Structure 1
Amino acid sequence: MPYPNTNDTIQLLTKLVSIPSPSGNTNEIISFVESYLKQLNVETKRNRKGGLIATIQGIDNSKHRMLTAHVDTLGAIVKEIKPSGRLKIDLIGGFTYNSIEGEYCEIETSCGKKLTGTILMHQTSVHVYKNAGKAERNQENIEVRLDEVVHNAEEVRELGIEVGDFISFDPRVQLTSSGFIKSRHLDDKASVAILLQLIKQLKTDKIELPYTTHFLISNNEEIGYGGNSNITPETVEYLAVDMGAIGDGQSTDEYTVSICVKDSSGPYHYQLRKHLVQLAKEHGIDYKLDIYPYYGSDASAAIRAGYDIIHGLIGPGIDSSHAYERTHQSSIENTAKLLYHYVQTAMIQYQ
């Protein structure tokens, strides 16, 4: 079976995670994806929010499918320039301050200049601060130490840094000999890499899809509204490809494709879920069913926006979500296989 090459997917993934793209500042990575798809002669267009829609015409144009994955990531923004020359930050997306303590970061000024720094507690030195380990990790105590010779706020502003400048985190991507991929922002760039490789395979093998299929590369998912628009009236099935969350009480792991039953928005479409499970069984694809209690996807955002669609959610299992994440190549492979078969099947009977 000519499945998308997993090694190629992982190499593409390393490129994607290395392009800074916090929600609100995603033009660089959207341009990268746009260029990748144009080389495959895939029809693309940008929406007004800055996302990208790729379309492959199918045999039946009266009914459409849409698949989505998001390139926007967690990040931060300059909240205040402190008198000391350090930066107070405000978070972009849902994560905790302790998950970024000690991380290298990049600050991009409004004129495009990029400077580096480190995210630290103000009370970091145990030789100075008696309660360094007990101090709360919050906006008041976490700050950015710039890698520049600055002594006050005025000198920081002379560098071009101002309130509102975007801050991205060093992904620290690493591939292990045992098949693990460790990096920030696997949510959801692992899924984006899988979709791009799927499109490449479809085009290379000249596979004719049963329905016109849209691939939305959304850019505002982490803040709740990436995939809630630009859905054609003909769209019947809408499948979000996003990470599977791992933790206590979860069945998702780093080796299978996770099929979401329910998240904080409620259950996903029962018939579509059963269809995905049946495909996995028929083709020997390792999968897990799971519930993500504190989670929402582009598919659930589309439902909330009022679209009359059949919605589903699958994705590779990601450990330590919204922190320094990890998955395994087998999870990427199983997700790719399920998607490969799904886009070539008949739609479920919804009437």
Structure 2
Amino acid sequence: MEMTVNKEYVLKTVKEILDFNSPSGFCFEIMERIGEFAKEFGYEFETTRKGCGIITVPGKSSERVVGLSAHVDTLGAMVRSITSGGTLKFTLVGSPTVPTLDGAYCTIRTRQGVLYSGTFLSTSPAAHVYEDSRTKPRDPQNMEIRIDESVSSKSEVEALGICAGDFIFIDPKTRITESGFVKSRFIDDKGSVACLISLLEHMSRNRIVPEYTTKVFISTYEEVGHGSAYIPADITEMLAVDMGCIGEDLSCTEYDVSICAKDSGGPYDYNMVSRLVELAKGNQLKYVVDIYPMYGSDVGAALSAGNDIRGALIGPGVHASHGMERTHYEALENTIRLIYLYLTEPGGN
């Protein structure tokens, strides 16, 4: 059965998911929503001890179990210390492109759940005052967070309940344009999560059963390297859905589904990659095959942890990764279509 992708649902879902604050280590709220999606679709949902989610979709056969993965965790920061002047020093969660944080709005969450707004700034923020305001490095050593409260000392900040270890949520600044562009921080990998949710909604509504039992693994620590170190033992092959790289020496655009042949961890399974290429080519999808020079995925984490699986990686092309990212609806649609074909077309290796 040919798939008709619901553009309105896809874009509504990606906007909803991007609106959640979910840096690695703080994915509780967004995982509750993922569980609600699964319940709405009529699929079994469970969580692992460290908070990853597993959605099980029964297949025509349980001869093998196909794993799909995407991660809801994002880049972020935490309070490192409070300065004598009442600003915050921060430590990074994951690896955001730090210069893009200069001027970014953020929210500090205390352990008691109180939220305060703030702004990432250089320690030489004013051009009229500091000679090095334009040249000072934008890195955690030379940046701080200005809190939007009447504070000018460490003790006054502590009185707000803010302390070291509190999470700092970076404003994603999400916009969806009339021309179909999605621009936001953290499209890596919430764009892919929206692809999987949209696919599950379509399969549930149309009562489509995949060829093999499928387990959708939503990880919560991918940005720090161990998102899918554990996966269900019955998964035999795993397709990670994560952002496709765009840049020098790569073919991918913001309109393509990217099929990765190799990343920093080495080559992906040759037969899985070949089948994905055949499906994309045979169904006239906009796709490319690329090598990702500085990249790791949930499949890489699963393999490094010793899981005996085959693995591959695809995803929508995303520009300016770990900064102010952008993709296009066409990339999301091509990604959804390729996953659908992979699950429902007879064959495989």
The TM-score range, normalised by the shorter chain, is: over 0.9
State the partner residue of 1:4: 5
1:150-189 equivalent positions in 2, closer than 5 A = 150-189=151-190
- Residue 257 of structure 1, CA deviation: 0.3
- Residue 225 of structure 1, CA deviation: 0.7
CA–CA distance in structure 1, aligned partners of residues 243 and 217 of structure 2 = 16
CA–CA distance in structure 1, aligned partners of residues 105 and 223 of structure 2 = 21
CA–CA distance in structure 1, aligned partners of residues 97 and 10 of structure 2 = 29
User: Measured at CA, do residues 150 and 347 of structure 1 come closer, stay the same or move farther in structure 2, by a change above 3 Å?
Assistant: farther
Runs of 4+ deviating beyond 2 Å: 1-4, 345-349
State the partner residue of 1:274: 274
- Residue 23 of structure 1, CA deviation: 0.4
State the partner residue of 1:20: 21
Matched, 1:222 2:251: no
CA RMSD of aligned residues (A): 1.0
- Residue 95 of structure 1, CA deviation: 2.5
1:119-149, CA deviations, whole angstroms, 9 ceiling, x for partnerless residues?
A: 0001011111111111111222111000111
1:113-152 equivalent positions in 2, closer than 5 A = 113-152=114-153
CA–CA distance in structure 2, aligned partners of residues 114 and 130 of structure 1 = 34
Q: Does the 8 A contact of 1:257 with 1:315 survive in 2? A: yes
CA–CA distance in structure 1, aligned partners of residues 88 and 261 of structure 2 = 41
CA–CA distance in structure 1, aligned partners of residues 256 and 57 of structure 2 = 27
Segments of 5+ residues of structure 1 without an aligned counterpart are none
CA–CA distance in structure 1, aligned partners of residues 156 and 22 of structure 2 = 27
State the partner residue of 2:77: 76
State the partner residue of 1:265: 265
Alignment-mate amino acid for residue 251 of structure 1: S
CA–CA distance in structure 2, aligned partners of residues 95 and 151 of structure 1 = 28
CA–CA distance in structure 2, aligned partners of residues 48 and 346 of structure 1 = 35
State the partner residue of 1:211: 212
CA–CA distance in structure 2, aligned partners of residues 213 and 265 of structure 1 = 25
SS at structure 2 position matched to 1:117: strand
SS at structure 2 position matched to 1:73: coil
CA–CA distance in structure 1, aligned partners of residues 95 and 139 of structure 2 = 13
CA–CA distance in structure 1, aligned partners of residues 337 and 211 of structure 2 = 17
- Residue 347 of structure 1, CA deviation: 5.5
State the partner residue of 1:235: 235
State the partner residue of 2:301: 301
SS at structure 2 position matched to 1:295: coil
- Residue 345 of structure 1, CA deviation: 2.8
CA–CA distance in structure 2, aligned partners of residues 3 and 340 of structure 1 = 11
SS at structure 2 position matched to 1:343: helix
Q: Does the 8 A contact of 1:47 with 1:230 survive in 2? A: no
- Residue 151 of structure 1, CA deviation: 1.0
CA–CA distance in structure 2, aligned partners of residues 7 and 339 of structure 1 = 19
- Residue 208 of structure 1, CA deviation: 1.6
Q: Does the 8 A contact of 2:231 with 2:302 survive in 1? A: no
CA–CA distance in structure 1, aligned partners of residues 83 and 4 of structure 2 = 53
Matched, 1:340 2:340: yes
Alignment-mate amino acid for residue 276 of structure 2: L
1:279-313, CA deviations, whole angstroms, 9 ceiling, x for partnerless residues?
A: 01111111011111110000111111111111000
- Residue 115 of structure 1, CA deviation: 0.8
- Residue 35 of structure 1, CA deviation: 1.1
**Larger mean Cα displacement after TM superposition, 59-68 or 318-327:** 59-68
State the partner residue of 1:46: 47
Q: Does the 8 A contact of 2:3 with 2:337 survive in 1? A: no
State the partner residue of 2:254: 254
- Residue 96 of structure 1, CA deviation: 2.9
Segments of 5+ residues of structure 2 without an aligned counterpart are none
Q: Does the 8 A contact of 2:76 with 2:96 survive in 1? A: no
Alignment-mate amino acid for residue 261 of structure 2: V
1:229-284, CA deviations, whole angstroms, 9 ceiling, x for partnerless residues?
A: 1222x322100000011111111110010000110000111111010010011111
SS at structure 2 position matched to 1:9: helix
- Residue 215 of structure 1, CA deviation: 0.2
Q: Does the 8 A contact of 1:6 with 1:332 survive in 2? A: no
CA–CA distance in structure 2, aligned partners of residues 217 and 315 of structure 1 = 15
CA–CA distance in structure 2, aligned partners of residues 161 and 150 of structure 1 = 12
CA–CA distance in structure 2, aligned partners of residues 14 and 7 of structure 1 = 11
CA–CA distance in structure 2, aligned partners of residues 64 and 36 of structure 1 = 21
Alignment-mate amino acid for residue 135 of structure 2: K
CA–CA distance in structure 1, aligned partners of residues 239 and 41 of structure 2 = 23
- Residue 201 of structure 1, CA deviation: 0.9
State the partner residue of 1:290: 290
- Residue 346 of structure 1, CA deviation: 3.8
